Structure 1
């Protein structure tokens, strides 16, 4: 009997997993996703700044794979019945589930974010921000992580008339080396991006943000990049999850509570044998998706699966279209002093980003991003 495999979510990890499952398992694979387009999430700061992104229909990316595409929003999973529920009311029965619903901007941790802030964590929201920036005069980018850094630089370069300020709870670029942090500061100075780091936002208002100390920073547009969260679907379905709602998995990315379920991408709390938990990133999701589907295929074939093996190589940061910062890292993601900067780094980052799309077309390629 042909095994029914449902893949929930068609982001970087989910789309690759669906194509690999069809290729490696011989199962009947159904991919369910809210939209009919593949979103290059790592380019959404470009979209928000006013640039055009290439249209990538999922149907085109799935052509010839045998994967059935269902365009619908996943609203829940009945783990006992082994059925995925969707917004249209349809149920998708499965023998194996690959859970890949990803992550989205955390809009609830600080008052006023949901009501007044924009994000670059989804296509529709990034497009809304682009429309807003057309009439804006001042922008606060909240969050000093890689998403915030890229968004602030892209907006400042593309729209130089805007006053752009980045506000960070920690030291700007605190996960980078000293050399990288100095370069980042110089680049922001060149782009005119003002930095306020070491301060926390207590509230977002229509006219800016209020810091914990009570200081009001004025802006007509706030871009929220300070944290990501995952959908509540896994928790509500009764799957074992961590404190953040990410599915707890073993060393082959199989759910520790429901062995018929595999989790990939940002939705999975992946730990290596040494205890290191992998961060949410495209660089994490693609190679571990390969591991997860290989393990699934092995089990279906009666073979012992191999555990996940992974090491980080670099962090690639775009600083507009003509500048970049490549931070080389140790296997545990801690920074080395070695960095690549400038136009060469920008080309390096662009090559990596294009490589992710090449991987989505041919997911059996080595995923060394």
Structure 2
């Protein structure tokens, strides 16, 4: 029921219209860290795609072709599990999207880590006890300048990269380092072809549908490291769109049984 699970469920359901897709989440609501607009749009898109959402439920066991559901608490919600404790749900494909884990490379470095195995760094992105080393992204746990935990997202990592580069240069020049200040620019979600949501700049920008899909792609292209990569990404999307239009034009409409 996080970002990856919601996006994957919606995209799978729309790509494989004949398939029955279920999304299982152990909490009582989807996307707990997302903006309210994103949560509402995700629920609407999942319903529109025909995804069965099962809340307040954990997966206690995964076996070949099935998984066992374990209710977390009594629920009268229409999205409650389809049975009691130990309910088995058959499936042809099971995709696990719960939680994250640092790479084994991080543990092999022998650097100080937190309880989750991520490298411990100070607000200047310096590894604890190793001021000449810097750590950032989802391999590190960083306390921002205001004391709050920094999310393990690509958006945060890209901002940290600028600070790390600045602080390395400052260290070489014996200048003061800058404490990392995370700026939440917004979030985008993809729910399938021409289906997306954009929530940015607080409550100022809220987009959905085709406009959100186009805006989301524009943001990704603009954030590519080089103009050449941005052009390649744009051309790839253009070719996909062209082939999709041709395929739609030559495919006969489905007849109702």
User: What TM bracket, shorter-length normalisation?
Assistant: 0.7 to 0.9
Task: Name the structure 2 match of 1:146.
Answer: 3
Query: Which has the larger share of strand?
Result: 1
Looking at CA atoms only, which structure, 1 or 2, has the larger radius of gyration? 2
Counterpart in 2 of 1:270?
A: 142
SS of the aligned residue for 2:57 comes to coil
Structure number with greater CO (CA < 8 Å, separation at least 6) is 1
Paired residue for 1:125?
A: none
Note the residue ranges of structure 2 that are not aligned, 5 or more in a row: 71-84, 230-257
Counting matched residue pairs gives 214
Q: Secondary structure at the match of 1:354?
A: helix
Structure 1 residues 338 and 199, CA gap change in structure 2 (3 angstroms):
farther
Taking structure 1 as the reference length, what is the TM-score of the superposition?
0.54
Tell me, in whole angstroms, the C-alpha distance in 2 between the residues paired with 1:190 and 1:350: 22
Residue 212 of structure 2 aligns to a residue whose secondary structure is helix
SS in 2 for 1:340: strand
> Counterparts of 1:54-65 in structure 2 under 5 Å?
none
Once residues 290 and 360 of structure 1 are traced to their aligned partners in structure 2, the CA distance between those partners, rounded to angstroms, is 18
1:158 corresponds to 2:15 = yes
Structure 1 unaligned regions, length at least 5: 1-143, 331-335, 363-369
SS in 2 for 1:238: coil
Q: Do the aligned partners of residues 340 and 305 (structure 1) sit closer, same or farther apart at CA in structure 2, a change above 3 Å counting? A: same
Superposed counterparts of 1:163-182, under 5 Å? 163-170=20-27, 171-182=29-40
Name the CA shift for 1:359/1:291 in 2 (closer, same or farther; >3 Å).
farther
* Cα distance change, pair 145–243 in 1 and its aligned pair in 2 (3 A): same
Residue in structure 1 matched with residue 171 of structure 2 by the alignment: 299
Match of 2:176, SS state, is: coil
Determine the structure 2 residue equivalent to 1:258: 130
Counterparts in 2 of 1:233 and 1:181: CA distance versus 1, 3 Å: closer
C-alpha contact (below 8 Å) 1:207/1:218 kept by paired residues? yes
What CA deviation, in whole Å up to 9, does each residue of 1:54-112 have, x standing for no partner? xxxxxxxxxxxxxxxxxxxxxxxxxxxxxxxxxxxxxxxxxxxxxxxxxxxxxxxxxxx
Q: 1:1-369 residue pairs with structure 2 within 5 A?
A: 144-170=1-27, 171-212=29-70, 213-328=85-200, 339-358=206-225
* Residue range with higher mean Cα deviation, 295-304 or 174-183: 174-183
Counterpart-to-counterpart distance in 2, 1:288 and 1:329: 19
Q: Which runs of 4+ in 1 moved over 6 A?
A: none
Q: Distance in 2 between matches of 1:192 and 1:232?
A: 38
